[in-house]
Amino acid sequence: MIDPLIILTALATGMLARAVGLPALVGYLAAGFVLHELDVYGGAILSTLADLGVTLLLFTIGLKLQLRDLLKTHIWGTTLLHMAATQGFFLGVLWGVDQLFPQLGLDLGAKLVIAFAFTFSSTVFVIQIMQERGEMASRHANLAIGILIIQDLAAVLFLAFSTGKVPQPAALLLLIAIPLRPLLLRLLALAGHGELFALFGLALAFGTAGICEAVGIKGDLGALLIGALLAGDQKAKELSYNLMLFKDLFLVGFFLSIGLGGWPTPEVMVLAAVLGALALLKPLLYFPLLTWLHTPPRTALLAANALANHSEFGLIVVAVAATAGWVDPAWSAALSIAIAVSFTLAAPLNSLSHSLYRRHREQLARFESTRVRATHGDTRNVKVLVLGMGNIGTGAYETLAQRYGWEVLGVDDNDRKLAVHRAMHRRVEAADASDPDFWARIRLDEVDLILLALTNHQENMLVVRMLDRLGYQGSIAAVVRFAEEAKELESKGISVFNLFAEAGAGFGTHAIRVLDGPEAAKAQAAPETDVGTRTGA
């Protein structure tokens, strides 16, 4: 049984880390060191939870694999070039450290593994800051996460071969899983959306890991591959979100176990703090690489700043290498200190990212490639802007286009979605609604109405603040889901459409038409919707 003091300490330090704007995992790492000082140990259960967390981490990574996106040059090219350069840089730093402190006993193999661990950036950190700012659907978030996934795949390859296992001939039977994909997806659909669905996902991850271990393949790699087999389907995306809480809870055991191993020597602690601070240099290479590979400067800057940290995956790499005897186990604790330092420094940098771009926009625009410049569409003669071309935005676009025609412009940053809209002969533009470069191309004095169909309140507020700074005088309407969101937007003089409340009213109207019969429904003309004149506009 796990000592209740472990849970309480992890909770307290995790809450404290979150209160000061850092990811909770920094608190979990600190909890391990605190528990070590209190002579509290987790035992076999904590170790098992740590192993389950790593397996689930790789399974959920597999579920999110979209080869079509990862094969884009600016994603895989930037990742591989940056990892190679970062590996060389930290290898040089560690060589210098070895000259100054030969007592650390860093051989070439240890230097290579530790430098490799510092090439990763943190998925946990990036997702947390993007969620808090309401930017998970943005281009820079998708770019950063794409880079992180390729980094994670590199780590998975390391983990797969770290044990030196040789697959048995029976491992070829695992290929039977490929034609079973439709059956697995059908079973996932049959499982519904509740606890049975989550249980089926856990069975897939841990069951596949167990089978792979039995035939000489590292179980974590098997979990990644079965996840990748299901990737691309809507149920796989849902399963990834469903298992996220389990993964994070199990990984707490992993982070705690690092600190429970004890403190490194004072020299290593100082070195770890310096190595953590060096994470701030990562954007200095990410930005030029991304813009060179035809990424817009703003997207490149925001993604680069998000990646200015070290990763929990590097911690896993070092922990596995320590188990194999390649590095001193004290380096696991050292890397945890470096990660905490990098998070502490990266948090304020990311909070300033948007203002940094606005302040230095003209200088950064010089890095824009001619190919990116050529993709800018025609934004002249626009009277109505629809920001967000999902189901809600598309419906609004179609209604407004009946009155304003080609003067309605739909805006979205999902390329696949935009391709569908263009095939339907809709006027759309690829852009991030919070991008000042996009707004610089819009004649706001000619725009009568801006529709915020983003369904993300934080992003809606970000756009509202930007329009206020630009001095926009026209009408704004926004889609909301909750009363508190409506209240905040209405306080800014914005018309709101409460999705849930209005849907209920619409459903009631539909029910009345059903009761009145088909003839009455035909005779009743649908009232024309004018979202620009709702109360508060």
> Looking at residue 536, what is its pLDDT?
38
The CA distance from 386 to 439, in Å, is 13
> Looking at residue 2, what is its pLDDT?
61
**236 Rama sector, left if φ>0, alpha if ψ -120 to 50, beta otherwise:** alpha
Strand partners, 384: 408, 449
> Looking at residue 397, what is its pLDDT?
93
> Looking at residue 307, what is its pLDDT?
96
CB-based contacts of 491: which residues, under 8 Å, 6+ apart?
none
> Looking at residue 463, what is its pLDDT?
87
> Looking at residue 434, what is its pLDDT?
77
The CA distance from 390 to 412, in Å, is 8
> Looking at residue 169, what is its pLDDT?
78
The CA distance from 164 to 171, in Å, is 15
Strand partners, 497: 479
The CA distance from 297 to 288, in Å, is 9
Closest CA to 532 of 369, 396, 424: 396
- Please give the structure tokens belonging to residue 149: 């996934």
Quickly list DSSP for 217-269: S-HHHHHHHHHHHHTTSHHHHHHHHHHHHHHHHHHHHHHHHHHHT----HHHH
The CA distance from 402 to 526, in Å, is 14
Query: What's the predicted TM-score (pTM) here?
Result: 0.75
Q: What is the mean pLDDT of each run of 10 residues along the chain (537 residues)?
A: 76 86 79 83 75 83 78 92 96 91 84 94 81 75 88 80 69 81 90 88 90 80 84 85 81 78 79 94 96 94 95 84 85 86 88 89 90 83 92 91 92 85 92 82 91 81 87 90 87 85 76 73 49 38
- Please give the structure tokens belonging to residue 83: 């990892």
User: In whole angstroms, how far apart are CA 365 and each of 295, 302, 462?
Assistant: 11, 14, 22
Compute the Cα dihedral for 146, 148, 154, 156 and give only its sign. Answer: negative
The CA distance from 72 to 460, in Å, is 29
Half-sphere exposure of 417 (CA within 13 A, CB side): 16
